[in-house]
Amino acid sequence: MACFVACRTGAGLCSDAALVPAVLKSRALAARAWLASMSVPGQIRLATGAIIDASGSANGVAVAQCLAQLLMLAAPQLDEAAFAEMRELVDELAHDSSEFQVEIITAR
């Protein structure tokens, strides 16, 4: 569930569905409150929180970096479809960034 929420908040930065900064901040605040109420393993909680924070500041590259970290942490619990969707979102958010090259496993 944490991966879903993280992806949902990050997807608000994608070019085809870009949200205005005020909406991004509002969604990040709501997601942060949700995360605080959930029992999530520590590393997953930290990675999800970092995604939420980066999405609230509209930093797509930072969201991609944090999503890649979450993807690596959560990979053992994800099915193939969920893994592929998260991987596609990382690629889309990182796009042509020279700040970040996606270097995560492509197949499991």
Q: Which residue has the higher pLDDT, 54 or 16?
A: 54
Global confidence as pTM: 0.80
What distance in Å separates the CA atoms of residue 65 and residue 85, rounded to the nearest whole number? 15
Query: If you average pLDDT over every residue of the chain, what do you get?
Result: 84
Residue 45: what pLDDT? 92
Question: Domain map of the chain by residue range?
Answer: 2-94
Q: How far is C-alpha 57 from the chain's CA centre?
A: 13
Mean per-residue pLDDT, 49-62:
87
* Residue whose C-alpha is closest to residue 73's, from 48, 94, 43, 51: 43
**104 DSSP assignment:** S
Distance of alpha carbon 23 from alpha carbon 17, whole angstroms: 12
Question: Rounded to an integer, what distance in angstroms lies between the CA atom of residue 7 and that of residue 35?
Answer: 13
